[in-house]
């Protein structure tokens, strides 16, 4: 009886592991099918490039990396690389109010100024507490 329970548990475990793996493979396949020219991607070996051409018949993608073109299998594309936010900020987006303008932030060269700021904050909080 115990042997049967062990066999059923192992079969169940194998089923759940394989179904999770199938879901991951399906998600990767959908990602690779949605690739388009102009997108920045990274290959599984770590090469960054921009998609120039997609050959669906041979399942190949041509990447431009630092002015050099290379051909890769579609399966070698690991992930899409999103542009940094600073590249997306334009004057029009700031004027339209969709993105707030960057404000100057005073960043100390060392952490010695943090003690002073923390002490001032505590003193102000204590004064506020005493005033209540």
Is 60 exposed, middle or buried (CB count within 10 Å of its CB: 0-12, 13-18, 19+)?
Answer: middle
Please choose, from the candidates 70, 77, 66, the residue with its C-alpha nearest in 3D space to the C-alpha of residue 53. 70
14 falls within a domain: yes
Same domain, 67 and 92: yes
- Domain span at residue 7 reads 1-34
Residues 30 and 44 both lie in one domain: no
Average pLDDT, integer, range 45-69: 91
Looking at the structure, tell me whether residues 45 and 85 fall in a common domain. yes
Same domain, 26 and 72: no
Same domain for 45 and 86, yes or no, is yes
Is residue 106 in a domain?
no
Whether 69 is covered by a domain: the verdict is yes
Output the pTM of the full model. 0.50
Task: Kindly report the number of other CB atoms within 10 A of residue 74's CB atom.
Answer: 16
Q: What is the DSSP string of 27-42?
A: HHHHHHHT--TT-EEE
Q: Which residue has the higher pLDDT, 53 or 110?
A: 53
**Does position 100 have pLDDT exceeding 70, yes or no?**
no
Judged against a pLDDT cut of 70, whether residue 60 lies above it is answered with: yes
- Residue 89 — very low, low, confident or very high, per pLDDT cuts 50/70/90? low
* pLDDT average, residue stretch 111-125: 74
Number of domains in the chain: 2
Is residue 71 a part of any domain in this protein?
yes
Are 83 and 50 found together in one domain? yes
In this structure, the answer to whether residues 48 and 70 fall within a common structural domain is yes
Better-predicted residue by pLDDT, 105 or 3? 3
pLDDT at residue 105 is higher than 60: no
């Amino acid at each position: 009886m115990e042997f049967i329970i062990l066999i059923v548990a192992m079969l169940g475990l194998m089923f759940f592991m394989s179904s999770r793996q199938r879901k991951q493979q399906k998600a990767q396949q959908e990602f690779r099918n949605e690739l388009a020219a102009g997108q920045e991607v990274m290959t599984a070996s770590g090469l960054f490039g921009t998609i120039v051409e997609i050959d669906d018949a041979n399942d190949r993608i041509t990447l431009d990396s630092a002015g050099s073109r290379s051909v890769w299998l579609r399966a070698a594309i690991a992930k899409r690389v999103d542009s940094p936010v600073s590249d997306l900020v334009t004057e029009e987006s700031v004027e339209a109010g969709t993105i707030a303008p960057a404000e100057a932030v005073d960043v100390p060269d060392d952490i010695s100024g943090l003690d002073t700021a923390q002490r001032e904050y505590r003193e102000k909080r204590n004064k506020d507490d005493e005033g209540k």
